[in-house]
Chain A
Amino acid sequence: MSVQTATSSRFRLFKRRTPRQPMTKAARREAIEGYLFLLPNFLGFVIFFAIPLLMSLYYSFTDYDLFNEPNFVGIKNYQQAVGFSIQPEAYQTAVQNNKSFIDAVGSMIKTNDPIFWTSLGNTIVYALGVLILTVPTAFWLAWLLNSKVRGMVFFRGLFYIPVVAAIVGVALVWFWMFQRESGVLNVVITGIVNLLNGLITPLGLKPIVDPTIGWLTDPNWAMSSLIIMRSWQTVGYNMVIFLAALQAVPHMLFEAALVDGATRGDIRAKIVVPLLTPTIFFVVVTNIINGLQIFAEPYIMTQGGPANATITTVYYLYQKGFQRFQMGYGASLAWIVFGIIFAVTSVQFRLSKRWVYEEG
């Protein structure tokens, strides 16, 4: 083997590194200054984020109750959270009780912690609900506000105000708005129903029954109420992001499309939306991540009720850890939530290659 062959890249076991040039005094001083600039932030990161993160991972394998020394219990907490058993006899019982096939199959599965699965289901419903309500609305608002019409700056600010409002204040205001008897929403609905009844009853039609919705007290409505509230608060933020992306779309594309006879709908669907797919992807990913971490709304407004209709995974782990003194179990739930968010985000990134347009 010749020296040339031996040193060719195909036969090299280790990448040859270019000899490091010794640092000049000025370069060394500059590097030190750079590290010193980074140091406060890095220390803060280590003390307030990294160390607590590693401690929570440790506690997730213990029976820590906040007051006494933690004892190692292995993966028991994780088994308690996600474990389940299959009970065929429950299926037989369900069939004998004339339950549907799905209910019967469901009754076979006995989870170790049914509340965890309920909270996970609620969290997913919430995240998807906010996403569906917020993203198209934000895009539509951004489209409307992306025009050089007088007063648009005012409206942009108006839609953004809820974003900067404190969640506690927002929750308390909506709490009163959602009141069944005296809340603004039901008062308006009652007014509309009375108005309509005033019009239709003289015609001999059956009057409309006032629904008097228990926004926070009816298990069928409670989660929807939280979704509405959160969507109201976050639509402005997403609108601003879409607005910035819309303003970056080159106008010459619009002009060229118009010259070619494209309608406004064609321009929106075939030019704007494809160009905005990176922004849409960003908005979708961040909204899902935020949605899966919902805590403040159920904590302030419903405490997870009624009938666990609004209990979410983060609120549940907070309950377990801080209110029921099962910090080890709460920590394991936190890591499970992290795993779920990580998996969902990874899948989204993989799928993005199929639909997100990237220049170059």
Chain B
Amino acid sequence: MNRKTLWTMLCLVLIAAFVFSACQPPAAAPATQPPAPSGGQPPASPAQMVTIRWRTRPDNQAEQDVYQKINDDLAKQLEPQGIQLVYDPAPVTGYLDKLTTEYSAGNAPDIAWIGGADSGNFTPKGVLLDLKPLADADKSFNLGDYYDVPIKELTQGGHLWGLPRDISTLVMYYNKDMFKAKGLDDPADLAAKGQWTWDTFRKAADALTDPAKKEYGFSISSWWGVWGWFVNSGGGSLFNADRTACNLTDPGSIKGLQFMADLFLKDKVATPPGVEGGVGETDFHAGKVAMMPNGRWMTPSVRQDKFNWGVVEMPTSAEGKKSTYLFWGAYFISAKSKNPQQAWTVVKLLTSADVQAKIAALGTNIPSNKAQAAVDAFLNSKPPDDNTPFIKGADYAVGEAALVTGNWGDIGAPYQTAMDNIFAGKQSVADAVKQACDTANPLFKK
């Protein structure tokens, strides 16, 4: 065989390799392997087993390990029912982009977690299964087991798009050591006496600010969950009642945002907000910022900090209005799932009080199931010493909106631009919100 023939054959082999590799069926290999069959009940035969792949977005390895353990425990429970459970976590970065691509390609996991605000972009697209028929046919299922706020968002239009995995209210994390060093009253004590208001909060922030030491009373990450609280607390809202228009120009919204702007620009008790994504937390963890509003998901990282800290409900407005946000995420079943009934069984289990109690022990989020066992598991997950501010806020919180009357990415963009301009002092609150509403209003579906 001469050299030319050899090279020709090599080329043909290479071409064949390209062609055959491109023609392979999509890899269905799970990210994690299911556990070996346990003793007790004999497993269902291989012909009867169906694989349910489910996904969450763990923030760190510890959280992923918890979900993997839950997967292993539930897998043993589900095996006799013919369900092979596979946990397929995805990283935080690009989580939704990956999921979007998979929904488009038709190979998304059977069950996926999606955050509340983002879920509104998916529900009108026909990629998520309406669970209402399954729920109605299931006599063991009770929608009342879950908090009302996320259920209200998930049942828009008479559907049931998913089951809430967990919730989190917005609370004020505070550095107890900084308060003590300045001889200030603990915010929790003030809240207990009904004296934790905009006014006392502002005074505390002022007293805790020392620019020479680069210490500040207050800090935020610049995302809608935080500046949205100022809007709600002032008596306004992000949208009108039927969510078909921007409501930032409402006098209550402007009042709340003006209070926020004054903290940054007039009183200078706050560091300019970090870029969305938690950068604003850096200064709090460094012990340079006394107070920071955030959700429960910040607790695991604050537990690593070297100072004494606590949480308190958000301050009451001048009119005595209590306000906070209730953030939530839910498990959704893919409309193209080959085994919707089995996926429904798994989703119910994942959102059961027992499983939610195990996750609550990690400290990341609050169970969406109102059962006392789940609530107690959360309350006992310490520090902080007192977890009740998270729970109390659920009674009066404004829910994270799953906006189906428009794309939240498109509508939220001019809102965020307005806030960025306010923080930078480039526009007055009135001008900024007017521009935001002028841009956003045509984007709502009427």
Give the interface of A toward B (CB within 8 A): 29-30, 32-33, 36-37, 39-40, 43-44, 47, 65-68, 114-115, 179-182, 214, 216-220, 301-303, 305-309, 319, 322-326
Contact = CB atoms under 8 A, between A and B. Distances in A.
Nearest to B12: A36
A26 B277 CA distance: 65
Interface string B281-303: 01100101000000000000000
Given A29-B4, A36-B11, A179-B279, A214 B18 contact: no
Nearest to B416: A305
B275 A66 contact: no
A39 B407 CA distance: 44
Nearest to B4: A33
Contact of B282 (A179, A309, A324): A179
Contacts of A30: 4
A303 B413 contact: no
A219 B421 contact: yes
Given A181-B283, A214-B272, A308-B420, 15 more contacts: A33-B7, A33-B8, A36-B11, A37-B7, A40-B15, A216-B275, A217-B222, A217-B273, A217-B274, A217-B423, A217-B424, A218-B272, A218-B424, A323-B409, A325-B121
Interface string B65-107: 0000000000000000000000000000000110011011000
A67 B103 contact: yes
B14 A40 contact: yes
Nearest to B409: A324
Contacts of B127: 67
Most buried by A among B8, B11, B18, B288: B11
Interface string B410-433: 100100110011011010000000
Contacts of A29: 4
B334 to A, nearest CB: 11
Contact of A325 (B100, B273, B277): B100
A114 B443 CA distance: 13
Nearest to A115: B413
A39 B417 contact: no
23 contacts: A30-B4, A36-B8, A36-B15, A39-B15, A40-B14, A44-B18, A67-B103, A179-B279, A180-B271, A181-B282, A182-B282, A217-B272, A217-B273, A218-B272, A219-B426, A303-B276, A305-B417, A306-B222, A308-B417, A319-B409, A322-B100, A323-B409, A326-B407
B214 interface: yes
A37 B22 CA distance: 19
B102 to A, nearest CB: 11
A308 to B, nearest CB: 6
Most buried by A among B222, B272, B283, B286: B272
Contact of B275 (A65, A303, A319): A303
Contacts of A47: 22
A325 B52 CA distance: 27
Contacts of A44: 18
B126 interface: yes
A30 B5 CA distance: 10
A179 B96 CA distance: 27
B139 interface: no
A309 B421 CA distance: 10
A33 B7 CA distance: 8
Interface residues of B, number: 46
Most buried by A among B121, B127, B424: B424
A181 B288 contact: yes
Contacts of A307: 417, 420-421, 424, 426
Nearest to A38: B11
Interface in B1-45: 4, 7-8, 11-12, 14-15, 18-19, 22
Most buried by B among A217, A218, A301: A217
Contact of A305 (B214, B275, B282): B275
Contacts of B15: 36, 39-40, 43
Contacts of A218: 272, 424
Contact of A182 (B126, B273, B283, B420): B283
B126 to A, nearest CB: 6
B125 interface: yes
A37 B126 CA distance: 46
Contacts of B439: 114
A33 B417 CA distance: 59
Nearest to A217: B272
Given A36-B11, A67-B103, A305 B286 contact: no
A322 B125 contact: no
Contacts of A301: 275
Contacts of A324: 121, 407, 409-410
A305 B420 contact: yes
A325 to B, nearest CB: 6
Contacts of B7: 33, 37
A68 B15 CA distance: 34
A251 B423 CA distance: 58
A43 B21 CA distance: 13
Contacts of B410: 324
A182 B421 contact: no
A345 to B, nearest CB: 30
A256 B12 CA distance: 58
For the complex of A and B, list the 7 residue pairs with the smallest distance between their C-beta atoms, beginning with the closest. Answer: A307-B420, A306-B420, A36-B11, A66-B104, A324-B409, A67-B125, A307-B417
Contacts of B413: 115, 308
A80 to B, nearest CB: 12
B261 to A, nearest CB: 14
Contacts of B100: 66, 322-323, 325
A43 B275 contact: no
Contacts of B97: 322-323
A325 B126 CA distance: 13
A303 B12 CA distance: 46
Contacts of B283: 181-182
Nearest to A183: B282
A338 B428 CA distance: 38
A181 B424 CA distance: 16
A180 B18 contact: no
Contacts of B275: 216-217, 301-303, 305-306
A30 B100 CA distance: 48
A323 B273 CA distance: 24
Contacts of B416: 305
A47 B7 CA distance: 24
A307 B276 CA distance: 12
A293 to B, nearest CB: 19
A43 B12 contact: no
A326 B272 CA distance: 33
Contacts of B126: 67-68
Given A181-B288, A182-B283, A39 B272 contact: no
B288 to A, nearest CB: 7
A37 to B, nearest CB: 6
Given A182-B286, A301-B275, A322-B100, A43 B424 contact: no
A47 B275 CA distance: 39
B104 A67 contact: yes
Nearest to A302: B275
B11 A37 contact: yes
B234 to A, nearest CB: 22
